[in-house]
Amino acid sequence: MPENVLNPLDDPTADPFAVAAEAAADIARLTGVDHHDIALTLGSGWGKAAELIGETIATIPATEVTGFSKPALEGHVGTLRSVRTPGGKNVLVIGARTHYYEGHGVRRTVHSVRTAAATGAKIMVLTNGAGGIKTSWKPGQPVLISDHINLTMDSPIEGANFVDLTDLYSARLRAVARTVDSSLDDGVYVQFRGPHYETPAEVQMAKIIGGHICGMSTALEAIAARQSGMEILGFSLITNLAAGIQDTPLSHQEVIEAGREAEPVISDLLARVIGEL
Ligand code: 8IG
């Protein structure tokens, strides 16, 4: 979409599910793939998985699809891909996450998830790079998300719609992931607003309230995915220990490097898990 055209999601009278349906029609037209079975959002460090999942049928710029925003950050790829697994499933790979901290509102933050549901996807795989609170974790380690705490205090759900979030991160799908790697640990993901990292005191708060992973995405997306009836699998790459857990300051450069180093291993893991879904 040209830059001077308003994003339809910025019109408060627009129905976000109608915009997602339009986006899904764009994807079908541009990829030639009429439906997808699984959707996968690639966070920092997970990008190489797209090539390993199967045969790429089409790659399209996200900006060609209704309601998508330009990626804000280096290391975040602004493309959507349709990939066919050896088992014959169509996977929509979303390389263009819109973060809540970009300030475009929660509708734009979860638009890719609603679009994935509108393409037919029944499983949403959400991946991210994040800070670890458990001292047993090492940078470069992938972990499963077992639950979340949403500290944005926002919600993608509009109106009096009391969506149940029990087993939000599917125990069934976590068990499938562990058939591929039985050593996978799990933890509770805490979504902070960002874009600043936490203070050490905030990390201690997250720990005391039951959190193990600090991040800036995923929780709002998972809620929207559940509202759309999808089953959710969440993976965090621990790129750094959270502030105060590690004794050196956090840097975005360090996060990118940890991601780059871990990428071949975790991408292979992710591709094998997707083959089992
Ligand atoms: I990569 O330590 C990455 N993303 N909130 N805290 C938060 N987000 C992150 C972190 C972190 N590391």
Q: Using one digit for the tens of pLDDT, what is the confidence trace for 143-195?
A: 999 999 999 999 999 999 999 999 999 999 999 999 999 999 999 999 999 99
Residue 1 lies in a domain: no
* Most informative mutation of 255, 256, 266 for ligand 1 (most atoms within 8 A of CB): 255
Residue 73 lies in a domain: yes
Residue 67 lies in a domain: yes
On whether the CB atoms of residues 20 and 118 are closer than 8 A, the answer is yes
> For residue 65, how far is its CA from the centre of ligand 1 (angstroms)?
28
Q: At what angle do helices 111-118 and 16-31 cross, to 10 degrees?
A: 60
Residue 176 lies in a domain: yes
Q: What is the pTM of this model?
A: 0.94
| Omega within 30 of 0 (cis) for the link into 61 | no
Cα four-point dihedral sign 5, 11, 15, 20: positive
Closest C-alpha to ligand 1, atom 2 = 131
| Confidence (pLDDT) at 71 | 54
| Confidence (pLDDT) at 227 | 98
* Most informative mutation of 100, 250, 254 for ligand 1 (most atoms within 8 A of CB): 250
Q: ∠ at Cα 32 (96, 223), nearest 5°?
A: 40
Residue 3 lies in a domain: no
The enclosing domain of 159 has a CATH number of 3.40.50.1580
Number of independent structural domains in the chain: 1
Residue 33 lies in a domain: yes
Residue 2 lies in a domain: no
- Relative to the CA of 191, which ligand 1 atom is closest? 5
| Confidence (pLDDT) at 45 | 87
| Confidence (pLDDT) at 1 | 45
| Confidence (pLDDT) at 15 | 96
Residue spans of the chain under pLDDT 50: 1-4, 75
Task: Say how many C-beta atoms besides its own lie within 10 A of residue 158's C-beta.
Answer: 11
Cα end-to-end distance, the chain, whole Å: 33
Q: What is the extent of the structural domain holding 81?
A: 8-276
| Confidence (pLDDT) at 257 | 83
Residue 217 lies in a domain: yes
